[in-house]
Structure 1
C-alpha cells in the first residue's frame, strides 16, 4: 500500500540572517575564496547591491553617503573610450598609452553589471559616457552576429556564447531602449547593432528538444537558454508560446518546444552523491541500488523500474532534517541532472520571460530553496543541500524565490535579473534622453 503524505508547512526565509550575510559582504572583506575573483569585482558588487535591494534592506544597512560612494566606485571603473572595467585595478591613469591599452580594456559583462547596479542605486546616469559606450558596443560585434568580451588592438576577444550576447543586448536596452533608428548623442550619430545577425546566431544554436545551447549541435543548457531568451526580449525579437513576433528574423523557432523543455527541468533529485530509489524506505529496508541512465536498477536482477526515480533520503550530503521532511522540487540545468540552486533562477526566469512562470510547481520550488539549500545559520544559499553559501548561489536563490511567488522579497524582473522597482526607473531615463531625438543622417 502506498501512503501519500501532504507536504508540511512551507519553510520560511530566514530574512534577518540573509540581510546579515549580505551586509557582511558589503561592509567587510569577502571570504578568502574570493581573492582570486578580485578582478571580477563588478559582478560581485552587483550581486551584493541587488540582493540587499531584493531584501528591501539596501537603504537601511547603508547610508546615503555610502551609496554615493558605491556609485562613485562604479564610475571609477568606467573606461574613457566607452564601457566599464570589472575593477579599477587595470586603470593605468596618466601612464596609459596605445602600447599598454591592451591591459586595460572595457568588458561587456562588466558594463551590463555596472549599468544595472546604477539602476538599483537610483543614479541619474549623467556621468555615463552613453554615446561612447554604444559606439564601443558596435565594435564588440563580430561579422557572424556574436559578441565578444573585450576589444584588444582592434580585435574582438573572448567567447561568443549567449552570455555575452545577453550582456551586450542588455547594455543596448538600457542605453537606447527599443529604438533601432540612428540616434544623435553629443553631436555623434550612433547606429544600432546588427540585430538581425545576432538573432540568427541564437536560431542556429536551438536544439531539437527545445533547449538552446552555446553554439550549434551542442547540448542545450538552462543558463544559455535564459541568456538567449533574455537577449531576444531585449531586442524585441522574442517568440512566445502565445504570440509569434511579426518582425523577421525572430526566435525561438518553436516556442512551445522551448516551454516543454523548460518545464521538464523541474526535478526532485537534489544530491549529486545520493543513490536513487522509488520508495520511501527505512534505513534497514533501503535497497541496494545504483544510478543507470536515470532509472532505478536492482543489482540483484538488473531490472529497470519504470516508475519515476526519487532520491534516497538516507544518502543525503546535507544531513538536514529537511532532506527527510521537505518535499521540494528544484530545477536542473540539463537532462538527467540533479537540482541546483542557480538553475531555479535560470529556468524560472526563462519561464518568466515567455510569460509562463506559473506553469511550474512554484510551491515545490520554494520548498526546495527554503528547506534544502537555504543556510539556516549563516544565511544565503548553497549550490546543493548542506553546502555553505556563496555569493552567486545566494543571489540567484533570492531571485528565484521571488519568481516562485515568495512575498518575503521584492518582485523580480526576470529578464534583467533585478527588482521590478529598479527596472521601472528605465522609462524615466529614456524620456530624458529622447529630448535629444533621433538623427536624420
Structure 2
C-alpha cells in the first residue's frame, strides 16, 4: 500500500496523474485499494493475506488490518478524488480506538485481541492521520449508524510524545533515546492533526500540549542542514591532531583504529577547505541537504522529514531552501534513470524518489504542486477533506 501511495502521490505532485493514467486506470487504482479493505475496519498492506471464503477465526491472525496501510489507503483515495462511500468508516474508527495502548502509544495490528507492533511515533502519526481524515476536528464520542464510537485518548497520546522529547530539542521514539528527524516529524505532525501542537509563534490553548519548548525544537531542526554528503568520507577532526587522537571516527559512526599496521589504510579525512566534499562532482554542485541526527551525513529523505517539520512549525523558510534544491537536484537525483537515491550516486528507489519530490516542493520548487507537509500530500488533495466532513456531518451525531 505504501508503494502505491508513493507512486500516486508523486504523480499528483508532478501534476501528471491525469495525463499518465486514463480514467479507467485510476478507477482500477481505487478498486485495488478497496480490495485491501478489511471487513472489520481498516486496510491491509496488500490483498495477498485475504483468505476470502476460507477466512475463519483460526486464520484471522494472518490477515489483520494495519495502521500505516490504512493511512496510506485513505490518503491515496483522497488524492484520487474518491467519494469515500465504500469506506467502512464506523468499523475503521472502532478498530482505531482499540489500537491504542494504555500508555497512549499505538500499535500496528490487532491479533487475537492483542496490540502488536512497535510503539514509536510513526504509528502515532498514521493513527492520528486516520482519525483526522475520518473524523476531522470532531473530538469525543460520536454516534455512527446508531452505534457509539469513542475517540482515541488524545491526552494520553500527547503525554506519550512529551516523554520522548530530548534535552537538545529533537524528539525520539522513546524516553531517553537519541532524537531523530523522522520521529520528530511524526510527533509534530501527529500533534498538529489532533490540535495540540505548540509552535514558536503560538502556545496551544488546549492541554496537555507539546512540544514543551518549541524554540528548542526549531533550533535542533535548523541544525540538521549540513554540507557533509559522502557516507564513505571521514569527518574533519577539528579539535585533534595525529599525535593526540589514536582513533578517528568514520562519518557513519564506525570507529577505525589508526594504528593497525601497514596493511590498513588511513581513513580518508575531508579537507576543511572543501565545503561540500572532495570529488569533482561535489565541487561543481554546491548544496546542503539535511541529516537525521547529529554528526550524520545528508540523506534525501531527511530533506523531507526536516523540511516538513519546519513547515508544520510554520518556519520552513528559515532553512537555506536554495541549498536543499541544489543538493537534491544536483547530488541525489539520478541523471539517467530519473528519481532519487539515498546518497549521491545511489540508484533511485520509490521511497527516496517520492520524499525527494516532496522535499523539493517544500523547498520552493516551481515545478511541483504545493505540498501540505503535515499530511505529506498535495494541498489540492487535503483541500478535499472539508467536503467529506460536511457530507458526514449530516450522518454523525455527537454523544454527550
Query: Which residue number corresponds to residue 358 of structure 1?
Result: 317
**Cα separation, partners in 2 of 1:71 and 1:273, compared to 1, 3 Å:** same
Query: Which residue number corresponds to residue 310 of structure 1?
Result: 275
Query: Which residue number corresponds to residue 190 of structure 1?
Result: 149
Task: Please state how far the C-alpha of 1:178 moved relative to its aligned partner.
Answer: 1.0
Could you say what secondary structure the match of 2:143 adopts? strand
| Aligned mates of 1:312, 1:375 — CA distance in 2 | 18
| Aligned mates of 2:248, 2:357 — CA distance in 1 | 31
The answer on 1:44 being equivalent to 2:9 is: no
The answer on 1:254 being equivalent to 2:213 is: yes
Question: Where do 5+ consecutive residues of structure 1 fail to align?
Answer: 1-41, 280-289, 315-320
Could you say what secondary structure the match of 1:313 adopts? coil
**Cα separation, partners in 2 of 1:309 and 1:233, compared to 1, 3 Å:** farther
Task: Please state how far the C-alpha of 1:185 moved relative to its aligned partner.
Answer: 1.4
| Aligned mates of 2:363, 2:115 — CA distance in 1 | 38
Task: Please state how far the C-alpha of 1:51 moved relative to its aligned partner.
Answer: 0.5
Query: Which residue number corresponds to residue 243 of structure 2?
Result: none
The answer on 1:104 being equivalent to 2:59 is: no
Match of 1:235 among 194, 199, 202: 194
Query: Which residue number corresponds to residue 217 of structure 1?
Result: 176
| Aligned mates of 2:178, 2:382 — CA distance in 1 | 32
Tell whether the 8 Å contact from 2:331 to 2:344 is kept in structure 1 after alignment: yes
| Aligned mates of 2:250, 2:343 — CA distance in 1 | 21
Match of 1:59 among 6, 18, 35: 18
**Cα separation, partners in 2 of 1:332 and 1:438, compared to 1, 3 Å:** same
Could you say what secondary structure the match of 1:371 adopts? helix
| Aligned mates of 1:94, 1:312 — CA distance in 2 | 59
| Aligned mates of 2:274, 2:122 — CA distance in 1 | 32
The answer on 1:415 being equivalent to 2:366 is: no
| Aligned mates of 1:363, 1:377 — CA distance in 2 | 23
Equivalent residues in 2 for 1:249-288 (5 A)?
249-276=208-235
Tell whether the 8 Å contact from 1:341 to 1:384 is kept in structure 2 after alignment: yes
- TM-score normalised per structure 1: 0.82
Tell whether the 8 Å contact from 1:276 to 1:311 is kept in structure 2 after alignment: no
What are the Cα deviations for residues 143-198 of structure 1, in whole angstroms up to 9, with x where unaligned? 11100000000000000000000000000000001111321212211111000000
Task: Please state how far the C-alpha of 1:67 moved relative to its aligned partner.
Answer: 0.2
Match of 1:327 among 286, 298, 319: 286
The answer on 1:74 being equivalent to 2:33 is: yes
Task: Please state how far the C-alpha of 1:313 moved relative to its aligned partner.
Answer: 1.5
Task: Please state how far the C-alpha of 1:437 moved relative to its aligned partner.
Answer: 3.5
| Aligned mates of 1:275, 1:157 — CA distance in 2 | 40
Query: Which residue number corresponds to residue 146 of structure 1?
Result: 105
Query: Which residue number corresponds to residue 34 of structure 1?
Result: none
Q: Across the two proteins, how many residue pairs are aligned to each other?
A: 375
Task: Please state how far the C-alpha of 1:291 moved relative to its aligned partner.
Answer: 5.4
The answer on 1:155 being equivalent to 2:114 is: yes
Question: Where do 5+ consecutive residues of structure 2 fail to align?
Answer: 239-246, 252-257, 259-268
**Cα separation, partners in 2 of 1:308 and 1:418, compared to 1, 3 Å:** farther
Query: Which residue number corresponds to residue 204 of structure 1?
Result: 163
Query: Which residue number corresponds to residue 333 of structure 2?
Result: 374
Tell whether the 8 Å contact from 1:211 to 1:258 is kept in structure 2 after alignment: yes
Query: Which residue number corresponds to residue 284 of structure 1?
Result: none
Could you say what secondary structure the match of 1:310 adopts? coil
The answer on 1:429 being equivalent to 2:388 is: yes
Could you say what secondary structure the match of 1:370 adopts? helix
Query: Which residue number corresponds to residue 318 of structure 1?
Result: none
Tell whether the 8 Å contact from 2:289 to 2:299 is kept in structure 1 after alignment: yes
Could you say what secondary structure the match of 1:144 adopts? coil
Could you say what secondary structure the match of 1:151 adopts? strand
- TM-score normalised per structure 2: 0.91
